[in-house]
Amino acid sequence: MVCHSRKGKALTTVHAKGKTLAVLPKSAERGADAAARALEAVLASLEDSKAEDIVTIDIAGKSALGDYMIVVSGRSNRHVMAISDHLLTDLKDEGFGTARVEGQEGGDWILIDTGDIIVHVFRPEIREFYNIEKMWAAPDMDEETRH
């Protein structure tokens, strides 16, 4: 079976005992739907974990990193770690697989990458220091120079 990614490269799907191990979206809409479903699951998990100051940034078209970036705060190192643990469990339970994680050992700043969504979980002081929302929310240079 041959599928095509959004970039037009031909990809092959591996089969084991007649079951497809990886399913690629057949159209851009399905990919967008998958990202929207993942976003809904991530936001529900973050709210359930009492994450604070939840900011969602649409980065589709701005970056190849994903479709959305979410920045949240936890009250303490322990809360930051609990938020990320809960999110990882919820994502797996909802069928989104295992996300890549960085920073779990410290609990100051944990990055969770689901593929479509990048989640940054910060302690408030660390979030304020890096201020990544401001960097990503800045207008595109092309748009700025056209005016």
Give me the number of domains the chain comprises: 1
Residue 101 lies in domain: 51-135
d(CA 64, CA 86): 26
The model's pTM:
0.72
d(CA 107, CA 113): 16
pLDDT tens sequence across 89-147: 999 999 988 899 999 888 899 999 998 899 999 999 999 999 988 877 665 555 444 44
Residue 82 within a domain: yes
d(CA 133, CA 57): 8
Here the CATH number for the domain that contains residue 113 is 3.30.460.10
